[in-house]
A and B are shown apart, each in its own frame.
Chain A
Amino acid sequence: MTDTALRAEALGKRFGRRGRWALRECGFRLPAGRVCAVVGPNGAGKSTLLALAAGLLPPTEGRLTVLGTSPAQARPRVGFVAQDKPLHPQLTVAETLRMGADLNPGRWDAAVAERVVAGGALDPEARVRTLSGGQRTRVALALALGKRPELLLLDEPMADLDPLARHELMGTLMADAAQHGTTIAMSSHVVAELEDSCDHLLLVGDGRVRLAGDIDDLRSAHRRITAEADADLGPHTVVESRTTGRQLTALIRPAGPLAGDWRTSVPSLEELVLAHLRSPGAPGLATAEAAESTGTTEAVTEESAA
């Protein structure tokens, strides 16, 4: 088993010959065993990225390596739940799980799949077409987890779920990660939804990777500062700054010691994400372990993180 779950090099995807680039020049690395939040506004390229990793779309340019091999070759070891949770509407819940067993010989874990379904008090004889959105999500997650994947790709997995089911299924996912070291990449445009469960971030904006790395590392590489309006932000990388009256507030990436009279704090994940999304021109950042031959992204070094 490789220590890298996903590696993208100059990855690009365009729909149609003259279409718009959904992803362009994406370079990043997702270490194995992480729970990664794929975050970005609607239309940023999150779903495209996950579909490329699942081997359902071919890249237009560049390369994507999944579990050390090509997306197509990795497919038996990858679980994917697409946003629209595609299932056969005429099959019953029990038949759907039997199909999962038949399609994944040698890998299928019936106990895990049945436990996920049982948590929702679903009738095994109910047909998929009669299920609610949340119940279909549960069946789709049962299929994906029953496969015992090394990498689990989930596109907006929690969107259809009520708060109780959301908490319970997130707990199931985290337990799977704790027990088997499963790498999980899940997308959402609601950062708060993922903040406690994820330890790694991939921020996608306008088809590009803006931030990649361990969430604590990314946060500690930035500071929110409050200073006097004429403060010199000097050598630091300024992601966002605003002046109100005599006061300047900014989110910066320190490149050396900070002036003593500034008030500084480490930004929350949400502050970090929002500041980068509000400033599309700000340079991206990939931490050392998450960087991979990047064009627009600067790699963090020990000095600039400190």
Chain B
Amino acid sequence: MVEYRIDRHSGVATYVQIVQQTKQALRMGLLRPGDRLPTAREVVEATAINPNTVLKAYRELEREGLVEARRGLGTFVRRSLGAATADAALRAELETWTDRAREAGLDREDVAALFTAVLDQRFAVPDAHAAEPGTRVTADGTRRDTEHTQHTQHTQHTANSQGDPS
């Protein structure tokens, strides 16, 4: 089980923080396929954030194929992230590159700025609020349906765990 830490001054949208922390836990092996994510109720009780924010993050993870919502049971991890062998090779390359940057006289901040600039250039920056603004206004019906499913799921989940002797 993961525990989310929300930093309200990070400038990163809250739901994105949940997505990122879940992915981090997948990369580090803290979450593995088959593990259950905490329910929306559990997350909001601990963090005091809005329940819809958690559901939005879980939908995003589901869209990326990392987790799946199982009716009446909860949200479960489908696959982990980052193959260890590829990671090691990439890490070695990055270490070599970082050493070269240092020898070239760049300090820590220069390197971080350079790396971030290339990251931003190569990967689209997720802009939570610019995405599909047109559908947002009208998408209310769909979203509420999802919420209801999630509520039902939670209730059923509670019932299941009470009835389960294990």
Chain A residues within 8 Å of B, Cβ to Cβ:
3, 31, 33, 35, 167-168, 170-175, 177-181, 192, 195-199, 214, 216-217, 219-221, 266, 287-289, 300, 302-303, 305-306
Asked if A179 meets B151 with Cβ closer than 8 Å, knowing A171-B48, A174-B49, the reply is yes
> What does DSSP make chain B's interface, helix, strand, loop or mixed?
helix
> What residue in chain A is nearest B11 (Cβ atoms)?
A268
Interface residue total, chain B, C-beta cutoff 8 A: 33
Find chain A residues with CB under 8 A from B127 CB: 266
> What residue in chain A is nearest B15 (Cβ atoms)?
A216
Chain B 45-78, CB-CB to A under 8 Å as 1, else 0, gives 1111111111000000000000000000000000
Interface hub of B40, B54, B154 (most chain A Cβ within 10 A)? B40
Chain B 1-39, CB-CB to A under 8 Å as 1, else 0, gives 000001010000010000000000000000000000001
Complex alpha-carbon distance, A174 and B44, angstroms: 6
CB of A285 to closest CB in B, whole Å: 12
Chain B residues within 8 Å of A, Cβ to Cβ:
6, 8, 14, 39-41, 44-54, 127-130, 133-134, 136-138, 140, 144, 147-148, 151, 154-155
CB of A157 to closest CB in B, whole Å: 12
Q: Is the CB of A305 within 8 A of B133?
A: yes
Asked if A174 meets B136 with Cβ closer than 8 Å, knowing A179-B41, A220-B130, the reply is no
Q: Is the CB of A216 within 8 A of B136?
A: yes
Partner of B133 from the list A3, A35, A196, A220 (CB cut-off 8 Å) is: A220
CB of B158 to closest CB in A, whole Å: 9
Q: Is the CB of A214 within 8 A of B136?
A: yes
CB of A224 to closest CB in B, whole Å: 12
Complex alpha-carbon distance, A196 and B39, angstroms: 18
Complex alpha-carbon distance, A256 and B54, angstroms: 32
CB of B112 to closest CB in A, whole Å: 22
Q: Is the CB of B138 within 8 A of A302?
A: yes
Find chain A residues with CB under 8 A from B134 CB: 302-303, 305-306
User: Can you list 17 A-B pairs with a CB-CB distance of less than 8 A?
Assistant: A31-B144, A33-B144, A173-B48, A174-B49, A175-B45, A177-B51, A178-B44, A180-B151, A196-B49, A199-B53, A214-B137, A216-B129, A217-B136, A220-B130, A266-B127, A302-B137, A306-B133
Q: Is the CB of B45 within 8 A of A172?
A: yes
Q: Is the CB of B50 within 8 A of A197?
A: yes
Q: Is the CB of B130 within 8 A of A266?
A: yes
Q: Is the CB of B151 within 8 A of A220?
A: no
Complex alpha-carbon distance, A198 and B51, angstroms: 9
Interface hub of A177, A195, A198, A221 (most chain B Cβ within 10 A)? A177
Asked if A174 meets B133 with Cβ closer than 8 Å, knowing A31-B140, A179-B41, the reply is no
Q: Is the CB of A300 within 8 A of B51?
A: no
Complex alpha-carbon distance, A302 and B134, angstroms: 5
